[in-house]
Amino acid sequence: MNVQWRQGSAVGAASLPAGVVRLSEARRGDRGVVLAVSPDAMTGADSEEREELERRLLEIGFVEGARIELLHEGFIGRDPIAVRLDDMRVALRRREAQGVIITLDGAAG
Amino acid sequence: MNAPVPVRDLRIALVGNPNSGKTALFNALTGGRAKVANYAGVTVERKEGFLTSPAGRRVSVLDLPGTYSLRARSPDEEVTRDVVLGKRAGERAPDLLVCVADATNLRLVLRLILELKQTGQPAVLALNMIDIAQRQGIDIDLEALSREIGMPVVTTVATRKRGIEDLLIAIDETAAVSDAQTVSGWHSPSAGEIRDSHREAERIIKIAVRPPKRPDTWTGKIDSVLLHPVSGIVILLAILFLMFQAVFSWATPIMDLIKAGFDWLAMQVTAHVPNGLIQSLIADGVISGVGSVLVFLPQIMILFFFIILLEDFGYMARAAFLMDRIMGGAGLHGRAFIPLLSSFACAIPGIMSTRVIDQKRDRLTTILVAPLMTCSARIPIYTLIISAFIPNKTLWGWVSLQGLVMLGLYVAGMVSALAVAFIFRKVFWRGASEPFIMELPAYKTPDPKNVARNVLLRAEIFLKRAGTTILSMMILIWFLSTVPFKPAGAVGPAIDYSFAGIIGHTLQPLLAPIGFNWQMAVALVPGMAAREVAVGALGTVYAIGEGQPGQLATTLAGHWSLPTALAFLAWYIFAPQCASTLGVVKRETNAWRWPIIMFVYMIALAYVAALITFQVASRF
């Protein structure tokens, strides 16, 4: 059931250094810091949609340097996800979470 | 009002993030007396209230929709942007902005404030919920904050009316020094500019805000239960179940009381008004007609009580989170859950609240299926038929059979809404859906006064409708079913000779395959005005036809077969019997196309569902 997004994102993940993942691949309990907000890898979106998503993610607080922790996963396909973002909590779908790249805690920095 | 000081009147607008307590502050400022209307041309609610400031200014307060940015995407946010920029037609720009901030969550609102400052409007910051911030040990240096953002800062606790005087004084002082009209330097920010403003907000927070010593741990603890994959779903279903059981059982004593009151009133009229047309109009038309609808006020209030309570507690966003995947499977947005849930009360507020869905296609799909959710106007019909035909038994010691049938009707509505949404997505539009990104606000103890105020507001709206649309429909149906009079010496009930009888008999052959008799056909015609009118109409039709004001349920039980009754229920799951809903859809979509599509698909579904129900039930 939840294999789909793991496989789908495997290609994108390969290009990222160790300890750096897309938020869409993170699991419950993962913590880290937002490294970049760039929805370039978002599947099935045109450039206008990506540009709009970037601004929306930024406006709700997904900004480089923000502390992030994945708190909850939905019960079907672990989607959507709820994250703690600095002092607030935000829910989003894994599709949108592809636009947020995080450095996991403990990763060599 | 004898203040001799010649001070200018003032227009202020409240701006802030969603969940910042903006509405509570509005109520604290204006005493909750609001003029509610729509902005011209759109159905965004315009809420305005008035107060007199300490300096004697007459101040009008506008409560603007919550937003994270002036960069608007939804009609709601467009209103906020246009009003702030003074670009809204027929709406003067406010003289002063009151930025409302949740003191425990300043980051995003500071960024919004930096955007608002670009508009050049004078502004005051109200740090709301300061009591919660203090409890958490968040230390805010008000002077430093005020210096950095360049506007006065006042702390408030809107729900306890604390800090309101100080806020008004700050408003007076700011208004006194800034009379010159300013030119807005705001433009839609790029991603880079949003990043810059985040950095600036971060810098201000470092200077002025010390992080919480005792951070809120309750929200996290509650979430780990309410958002848990298993317990979260179980609790969501339990809440829905409790809601419907409550609507059905808590309301009964009060409903009986209201019913008895109207029966007594009708008896008084019959006893004291001379026999004839006037007596019939008052007793059969007005009193029994309006009474049969007013009786459902307690249920509507209980339903709204739950919806408003859950909203104020912060649960609605969690429900959207839990439901997103299910809604998404039907091609709906998780946010559609809230409009659809409101549609349980009435499709009209439900359809109007779809404006929180940013993308047009998602919004249209939600609008089209919203009337399939079981609105409270169906409750009178369901209640009537269930009480007449479903035995009042208790299953397994605690579940009422009648309640279970009611739940089944609700589930049928929900399932068909999702199925129709799925089909609409496939037929009309495909492609990427709207992003689902929403804040999960910290849980808050609901303010009883706010809940009570909102429940009463809903009751008032329903009563207004009962007093206008429904009353006039009652008089019309009474007229239709009384005139022309029965000819002298004719046999059969008088209504057979009336207009209603003629219409009913004409439509009846069309409705025979679904088991409807002509009285039902008569009731469906005025029932187009609003679903609950059909109950009053049946009451009128049968009361006049029988010449006795007996219990409607008993009368129906004697006249209808079970298959007919079940077919009638099936009809009402789908039938578009609400002219106001169609009107609102026209207004919201700005095209006749959508209400027509809605009417056609719903009436087709209703006919097919009733046909299958009647034909199948008749075999047993």
Find, in chain A, the residue whose alpha carbon is nearest to that of B18.
Answer: A60
Going by pLDDT thresholds of 50, 70 and 90, the confidence category of residue A5 is very low
Task: Compute the distance between CA of residue B199 and CA of residue B521 in angstroms, rounded to an integer.
Answer: 67
pLDDT value of position B547:
47
Whole-number percent of chain B with pLDDT over 70: 91
Residue B26 pLDDT:
93
Residue B137 pLDDT: 93
Q: Chain B residue closest to A54 (CA)?
A: B191
Least confident of B178-182, B262-266, B482-486: B178-182
Mutate to test the interface with A, among B109, B209, B321, B362 (most CBs of A within 10 A): B321
Inter-CA distances, B498 with B288, B380, B470, B492, B538, Å: 19, 26, 21, 12, 15
| pLDDT for the residue A6 | 40
Candidate from B195, B223, B334 with C-beta closest to A80: B334
Can you tell me the distance from the alpha carbon of B470 to that of B431, in angstroms, rounded to the nearest whole number?
43
CA within 13 Å, CB half, A28: 14
| Confidence band, pLDDT 50/70/90 cuts, at residue B9 | confident
The mean per-residue pLDDT over the stretch B381-386 comes to 88
Q: How confident is the model at residue A63 (pLDDT cuts 50, 70, 90)?
A: very high
pLDDT at residue number B116: 93
A54 touches chain B (CB under 8 A): yes
Distance, in Å, from the CA atom of A52 to the CA atom of A33, rounded to the nearest integer, reads: 22
Report chain B's mean pLDDT, rounded to a whole number.
85
d(CA B385, CA B610): 14
Report yes or no on A9 lying in a domain: yes
Determine how β-strand B209-210 pairs with β-strand B139-140.
antiparallel
pLDDT of B144: 96
Q: What is the model's pLDDT at position B7?
A: 61
Rounded CA-CA distance B308/B605 in Å is 32
- More confident position, B397 or B452: B452
Residue A4 confidence (pLDDT): 39
* pLDDT tens for each residue of B335-352: 788 788 778 777 877 787
Contact A49 B194 (CB under 8 A): no
pLDDT value of position B432? 56
For B107, which of A72, A87, A95 is closest by C-beta distance?
A87
**DSSP designation for B575:** -
* Confidence band of B431 (pLDDT split at 50, 70, 90): low
In a domain, B133, yes or no: yes
Nearest CA in chain B to A75: B229
Q: Which residue has the higher pLDDT, B155 or B21?
A: B155
Task: Identify the band that residue B491 occupies on the pLDDT scale cut at 50, 70 and 90.
Answer: low
Confidence of residue B433 (pLDDT cuts 50, 70, 90): low
For residue B221, the SS3 value is helix
Q: For residue B470, what pLDDT band results from cuts at 50, 70 and 90? A: low
- A50 touches B: beta carbon within 8 Å: no
Distance from CA of A14 to the nearest CA of B (A): 25
Among the ranges given (A1-15, B228-242, B596-610), the one the predictor scored with the smallest mean pLDDT: A1-15
Contact (CB, 8 A) for A35 and A26: no
Angle between helices B22-30 and B448-465 (to 10 degrees): 80
Selecting from B322, B435, B439 the residue whose C-beta is nearest the C-beta of A89 gives: B439
Tell me the count of A-B CB pairs closer than 8 A: 118
Q: Which of B211, B227, B324 is nearest residue A93 as measured by Cβ atoms?
A: B324
> Which residues make Cβ contacts (< 8 Å) with residue B80, sequence separation at least 6?
B15, B64, B65, B66, B67, B70, B72
Whether the pLDDT of residue B220 is over 80: the answer is yes
- The CATH code of the domain that includes A34 is 2.30.30.90
Q: Which of B360, B440, B443 to mutate to test the interface with A (most CBs of A within 10 A)?
A: B440
- What average pLDDT does chain A have? 83
Q: Picking from B100-104, B188-192, B247-251, B410-414, which range would have the lowest pLDDT averaged per residue?
A: B247-251
Range of the domain at B172: 10-210
Cβ of A72 and B223 within 8 Å?
yes
Instruction: Point out the residue among A73, A87, A96 whose CB comes nearest to the CB of B436.
Output: A96
Q: Annotate A35-72 with b (16+ C-beta within 10 A) or e (fewer).
A: bebbbebbeebeeebbebbbbbbbbbbbbeebebbbbb
- Quote the pLDDT of residue A10: 40
SS3 B518: helix
d(CA B199, CA B205): 10
Q: Is residue A109 part of a domain?
A: no
Quickly state the pLDDT bin for B126 (edges 50, 70, 90).
Answer: very high
Residue of higher predicted confidence among B480 and B85:
B85
Residues of B in contact with A71 (CB under 8 A): 220, 223-224, 227
Among A51, A71, A74, beta carbon nearest to B325: A74
**Contacting residues of A for B191, CB less than 8 Å apart:** 51, 54-55, 58
Measured between alpha carbons, how far is residue B231 from residues A30, B222, B228, B322, B361 in Å?
22, 11, 5, 11, 33
* A84 part of a folded domain: yes
Does residue A91 fall inside a structural domain? Answer: yes
Q: Does A80 touch chain B (CB under 8 A)?
A: yes
Q: How many domains does chain A have?
A: 1
Whether B80 is in a domain gets the answer yes
Residues 6+ apart with CB under 8 A from B180: none
Instruction: Report the pLDDT value the prediction gives residue A61, as an integer from 0 to 100.
Output: 94
Rounded Cα distance between B380 and B385, Å, is 9
A49 in contact with chain B, both atoms CB, cutoff 8 A: yes
| Partners of residue B442 in chain A, C-beta under 8 Å | 89
Which residue would you say has higher pLDDT here, B443 or B455?
A: B443
Least confident of A55-69, B157-171, B290-304, B552-566: B290-304
For residue B301, pLDDT over 90 is answered with: no
Is some CB atom of chain B closer than 8 A to the CB atom of A70? no
Q: Average pLDDT of B12-22? A: 92
**Cβ separation A75–B322 shorter than 8 A:** yes
Mean pLDDT, range B401-423, rounded to an integer? 90
Please tell me the distance from the alpha carbon of residue B102 to that of residue B104, in angstroms, as a whole number: 5
Nearest CA in chain B to A44: B432
What would the mean pLDDT of A80-104 be, rounded to a whole number? 94
Name the region of B52 (left: φ>0; alpha: ψ -120 to 50; beta: rest): beta
Chain A nearest CA to B46, separation (Å): 25
- Please write the tens of the pLDDT for every residue from B65-79: 889 999 887 778 888
Domain presence at residue B308 = no
B34 forms bridges with which residues in the sheet? B49
* SS3 assignment, position A33: strand
Contact residues, chain A, for B195 at CB < 8 Å: 58, 63-64
- Other Cβ atoms within 10 Å of B492 Cβ, number: 10
Q: Is B440 exposed, middle or buried (0-12, 13-18, 19+ CB in 10 A)?
A: buried
- Give residue B240's pLDDT: 81
A5/chain B closest Cα distance in angstroms: 14
The size of chain B, in residues, is 620
- List chain B residues with CB under 8 Å of A75: 229-230, 232-233, 322, 325
Percent residues over pLDDT 90 in chain B: 38
CATH number (domain holding residue B88): 3.40.50.300
- Give the total number of structural domains in chain B: 1
pLDDT band at B493 (very low <50, low <70, confident <90, very high): low
Give the Å distances, CA to CA, from A46 to A39, A41, A78, B74. Answer: 10, 11, 25, 20
Q: Does A78 score more than 80 pLDDT?
A: yes
pLDDT (average), residues B117-135: 93
The DSSP call for residue B94 is P
Where in the sequence is the domain holding A23, given as residue range(s)? 3-104
CB contacts, 8 Å: A91 with chain B:
317, 320-321, 324, 334, 436-440
Task: Say whether B322 and A74 touch across the interface (CB within 8 A).
Answer: yes
Q: Is position B562 within any domain?
A: no
pLDDT of residue A85: 94
Let me know if residue B54 belongs to a domain: yes
Q: How confident is the model at residue B33 (pLDDT cuts 50, 70, 90)?
A: confident
- Of the two residues B502 and A41, the one the predictor is more confident about is B502
At residue B493, what are phi and psi to the nearest 5 degrees? -65, 150
Decide if B246 is inside a domain: no
Q: Which residue of A has its CA nearest to B436?
A: A92
Instruction: Work out the pLDDT band at A11, boundaries 50, 70, 90.
Output: very low
Chain B contact set for A80 (CB, 8 A): 321, 324-325, 334, 436
Task: Indicate whether B144 belongs to any domain.
Answer: yes
